[in-house]
Amino acid sequence: MKKWKDKEEFKKIFIRKSHVAWEKDVRDLIPNEVYQTVAFMIRDLISEDWIKTNKMYVEKKVKQVYYFSIEFLLGRLLQSNLISVDMETVCREGLHDLGWDLDAIIPEERDPGLGNGGLGRLAACFADSLAALRLPGHGCSIRYQYGLFNQRIVDGQQVELPDNWLVDGYPWEVKKVDKAVNVCFSGNAYMRPDGEGNLECVYENYHSVRAVPYDVPMVGYHNDTVNTLRLWRAEYTREDVYRVLAKGNRHEAFRYKDNVQLISRFLYPEDSTEEGRRLRLMQEYFMVSAGVQSIVRHFKQKISPNIKVFGHYVAIHINDTHPALVIPELMRIFMDEEGLPWETAWDITTEVVAYTNHTILPEAMERWSIPLFKELLPRIYLVIEELNKRWLQQVRNKNPGDEAKAREVAILWDNQVHMAHLAVLGSHSINGVAEIHSQILKESTLHAFYSCFPERFNNKTNGVSHRRWLIQSNPQLAQLIDSAIGNTWRKHPEHMIHLSAYAADTAFLEQLDQVKRIRKNILASYIKAEYDQQIDTDSVFDIQIKRFHLYKRQLLNILHILNLYYALKENPNMDIVPRTYLFGGKAAAGYGEAKMTIKLINVVSKMINGDHCLEGKLKVLFLENYNVSLAQLLFPAADVSEQISTAGKEASGTGNMKFMMNGAITLGTMDGANVEIHHEVGDDNCVIFGLRADEVMKYYVHGGYSSWDLYRTNEHIRMLLTHLVDGSLGNGNYAFQMLYDSLLDRNDEYFVLKDFDSYCEAQKNIGCRYQNHYKWLQSSAVNIAHSGFFSSDRTIRQYARDIWHIKPVEST
């Protein structure tokens, strides 16, 4: 790895670079130019290793994995790359001498919001771990021109603004014009005899779109591995435009250009709701076809001309079903371009592909209407039709007369393409993302498939990059850990367990207290600067940050706060530990109840923060535009981690792990990875409440829960619900009718009211625990010590060993 010798060398290079790049004296640079200059300097440092890494993979003919994901939520790269090349201090000091503060430069980078939430951020942590572990693995996604919307709160309500993150350019990407490929849409596809007794496919009259890759380096931590995240952009070629011009008029040509560019223009701001339709399907195939074509081309040019050994050198992972078209696309290439028979093509495809499921919410299960699919992807449709025919024949042979079975596992049914079924059938491995989630997949969501292929199903509990979420986000804590147990945990996060020995060490706990205080102060200063609000750093910082969804139950949290507020009004002398409740997160633009919950939080926040009789006991804030960068400020400052989804609904959660890593205590249901956090730290060090997943399931199946009954019998609940619609929240009558209806008329699908009392108890419990501050700090230490298990390094090692069969590559 190339490095700057010292700050003097840094300054020399910086001055030279900025002269060339900006034709300016260093003193005249604007902060964004400083950021870009440093970014280009880092690119210089890593460029040799980037080339070398790729060469080495080819020379050693190692098996490589390609991680396909429609979302990659990278976060800013300047600081993480500086940390990876171990040059943060040199850069900081060099910039300081030149009159710049690195911390003021870092926010100049626009946070690339190429994802909605958990699934997208997981992909980024995985890319980080692959490089850190020297594993040959790359990402594949779309270079959206506009990332997830910027959220503003106006009159308490979410407003979505476009995120034009590329306006100032993106210094980390490299456009690879020579690696472009064509992706074909629409036209006609049919089978005809090939003259040798077989059928061959004819595909004609299609439109082709140029897919151009933009590569972003994924820099390994303190090693010389640099993997690649390849982001595809849809472009038109001059030839294609001329072709359209030749056929029609100029408007036609404009429309063609526009339609092509539309493919990679927007990230769909959907989280667990199905929408987007035609364009979304185009995006999925665009990414898949471009990615797979470039992998096959690379394989044939650099590894072997024999396509039959493809599976020995290539693994492809599909992050949920959005990239599931990898399966028919591989089949298409193997058969139409490589001339393989169906059976051989199928064997290679299933050998290569593995699938992770991230959600069991029925509305998030992707299905495409067959007419739309056929029109847009006629060749791919033929493959799926044939696959479905063969598969159902097998199923019917095994289960004669059992049409229900066929229906349960069909890819094509009810005029729809069922993407999860395609993904399962075409993969040699299917995994969930936490123990409980993988169990639910086997027992219910994908049970029919589990009984056909039990050996394919496995669990890979999620993890998060401790480099971004601890070393980078909370350097104070990282240093404290170093001082206690040495710094080997930075490369081996499992060593954090040695901290357990310090959970009873008063001096250590005092320092831990100091660190938390510093982090709370940093957050408080940010809030003061951005919102002109003073928050009390002696209060408990209780934080819920994640996408807004009814199943995540931000509503439960805010109803409890409202209840606490009314209790304080009634009894101003009530002895409670002062609380600061913080919320952050975006709601899908079309998700009414989620947006209304945001509004409710803001209305309650205004009411409570404006009530001066509370003597600082309670404060509520909604922080705008939650994204990776804001998350980096929030996790380190948290005392309490709100993980309160309806049990059985949250596949894993990863925020829960980031909180734990930063010493917050989990207040959660037995859902997703909370179950494993609880298992790691025990009842003494987290607070669990609410229905268990099997109880929730029983109610769904057998009934027996009526939210109206609770409304009638529980006076607190009745009062809270009444206030949602009687105008007493100062926001007009019926302001929150939709939420009221979801809780009562729709019988509280997510058991908010059912779990309400249990949640209130849990909140009291948190208060009591916090009062015994020494014990609280002990719990905090235990959580940090046990968070090593939740590093994505552990997760990625498991994927590498059990699913991809890839090994670390040492440089020679």
The residues annotated as belonging to the active site are 358, 546-547, 552, 654, 658
Question: Which position among 652, 707, 778, 780 is part of the footprint of ligand 8GP (CB under 6 A)?
Answer: 652
Cβ nearer to ligand 8GP, comparing 117 with 213: 117
Question: Please, are residues 315 and 330 in contact by the beta-carbon 8 Å criterion?
Answer: no
Position 628 contacts ligand 8GP (CB under 6 A): no
Helices (H) and strands (E) in the chain, counts: 33, 23
Q: Which contiguous run of DSSP H or E holds residue 563?
A: helix 554-570
- Nearest distance, CB of residue 358 and ligand 8GP, angstroms: 4
Residue the block writes with tokens 């994505």:
792
- Nearest distance, CB of residue 631 and ligand 8GP, angstroms: 14
Question: Which position among 88, 128, 215, 271 is part of the footprint of ligand 8GP (CB under 6 A)?
Answer: 271
Q: Which contiguous run of DSSP H or E holds residue 258?
A: helix 250-262
Question: Which position among 79, 150, 151, 272 is part of the footprint of ligand 8GP (CB under 6 A)?
Answer: 272
Cβ nearer to ligand 8GP, comparing 311 with 463: 463
Q: How far is Cα 789 from Cα 791, in angstroms, rounded to an integer?
A: 6
Site residues for ligand 8GP, 424-463, by CB under 6 A, read 433, 462
Give every CB contact of residue 251 below 8 A, 6+ residues apart in sequence: none
- Nearest distance, CB of residue 43 and ligand 8GP, angstroms: 30
Which of 522, 576, 494, 556 minimizes the C-alpha distance to 739? 556
Query: Given the DSSP bridges, would you call strands 137-142 and 226-235 parallel, antiparallel or unpaired?
Result: parallel
Cβ nearer to ligand 8GP, comparing 93 with 593: 593
Which of 314, 293, 138 minimizes the C-alpha distance to 226? 138
Query: Given the DSSP bridges, would you call strands 174-175 and 188-193 parallel, antiparallel or unpaired?
Result: unpaired
- Nearest distance, CB of residue 323 and ligand 8GP, angstroms: 12
Site residues for ligand 8GP, 655-674, by CB under 6 A, read 672
Helix (H, G, I), strand (E, B) or coil at 270: coil
Type of residue found at 446: L
Residue the block writes with tokens 């994640």:
546
Q: DSSP code of 646?
A: P
- Nearest distance, CB of residue 271 and ligand 8GP, angstroms: 5
Query: Cβ-closest residue to ligand 8GP?
Result: 118
Q: How far is Cα 93 from Cα 743, in angstroms, rounded to an integer?
A: 56
Question: Please, are residues 645 and 557 in contact by the beta-carbon 8 Å criterion?
Answer: no
Instruction: Determine the length of the chain.
Output: 812
Render 363-409 in DSSP notation, one character per residue: GGS-EEEHHHHHHH-HHHHHHHHHHHHHHHHHHHHHSTT-HHHHHHH
Cβ nearer to ligand 8GP, comparing 652 with 685: 652
Which of 439, 437, 150 minimizes the C-alpha distance to 320? 437
Cβ nearer to ligand 8GP, comparing 331 with 688: 688
Question: Please, are residues 62 and 806 in contact by the beta-carbon 8 Å criterion?
Answer: yes
Cβ nearer to ligand 8GP, comparing 109 with 671: 671
Task: Measure CA of the first residue to CA of the last residue in the chain; give whole Å.
Answer: 13
Position 329 contacts ligand 8GP (CB under 6 A): no
Question: Which position among 119, 333, 561, 623 is part of the footprint of ligand 8GP (CB under 6 A)?
Answer: 119
Binding mask 684-723 for ligand 8GP (x = CB under 6 A): ----------------------------------------
Question: Which position among 184, 354, 364, 470 is part of the footprint of ligand 8GP (CB under 6 A)?
Answer: 364
Site residues for ligand 8GP, 58-117, by CB under 6 A, read 116-117
Position 128 contacts ligand 8GP (CB under 6 A): no
Cβ nearer to ligand 8GP, comparing 651 with 800: 651
Question: Please, are residues 662 and 636 in contact by the beta-carbon 8 Å criterion?
Answer: yes
Cβ nearer to ligand 8GP, comparing 383 with 550: 550
- Nearest distance, CB of residue 84 and ligand 8GP, angstroms: 23
- Nearest distance, CB of residue 630 and ligand 8GP, angstroms: 18
Cβ nearer to ligand 8GP, comparing 116 with 459: 116
Residues in a beta bridge with 688: 668
Return the range that interacts with ligand 8GP (CB under 6 A); candidates 89-97, 337-345, 488-496, 645-653: 645-653
- Nearest distance, CB of residue 565 and ligand 8GP, angstroms: 30
Question: Which position among 329, 642, 650, 793 is part of the footprint of ligand 8GP (CB under 6 A)?
Answer: 650
Could you tell me what percentage of the chain is helix, strand and coil, using 3-state DSSP and rounding each to the nearest 5?
Answer: 55, 15, 30
Position 359 contacts ligand 8GP (CB under 6 A): yes
Question: Which position among 122, 290, 464, 481 is part of the footprint of ligand 8GP (CB under 6 A)?
Answer: 122
Cβ nearer to ligand 8GP, comparing 267 with 377: 267
Question: Which position among 143, 230, 358, 786 is part of the footprint of ligand 8GP (CB under 6 A)?
Answer: 358
Report how many residues bind ligand 8GP under the rule CB under 6 A: 19
Type of residue found at 267: L
Position 118 contacts ligand 8GP (CB under 6 A): yes
Position 537 contacts ligand 8GP (CB under 6 A): no
Return the range that interacts with ligand 8GP (CB under 6 A); candidates 584-592, 648-656, 658-666, 727-735: 648-656
Position 651 contacts ligand 8GP (CB under 6 A): yes
Cβ nearer to ligand 8GP, comparing 84 with 654: 654
Type of residue found at 812: T
User: What backbone torsions phi and psi does residue 123 show, to the nearest 5 degrees?
Assistant: -60, -40
Return the range that interacts with ligand 8GP (CB under 6 A); candidates 44-52, 87-95, 644-652, 755-763: 644-652
- Nearest distance, CB of residue 192 and ligand 8GP, angstroms: 39
Give every CB contact of residue 484 below 8 A, 6+ residues apart in sequence: 498, 499, 502, 505, 508
Which of 683, 690, 672, 655 minimizes the C-alpha distance to 582? 655
Helix (H, G, I), strand (E, B) or coil at 60: coil
Q: How far is Cα 572 from Cα 578, in angstroms, rounded to an integer?
A: 13
- Nearest distance, CB of residue 359 and ligand 8GP, angstroms: 4
Return the range that interacts with ligand 8GP (CB under 6 A); candidates 38-46, 246-254, 358-366, 518-526: 358-366
Q: How far is Cα 478 from Cα 471, in angstroms, rounded to an integer?
A: 5
Question: Please, are residues 296 and 215 in contact by the beta-carbon 8 Å criterion?
Answer: no
Position 653 contacts ligand 8GP (CB under 6 A): yes
Please report, as ranges, the residues that interact with ligand 8GP according to CB under 6 A: 116-119, 122, 271-272, 320, 358-359, 364, 433, 462, 650-654, 672
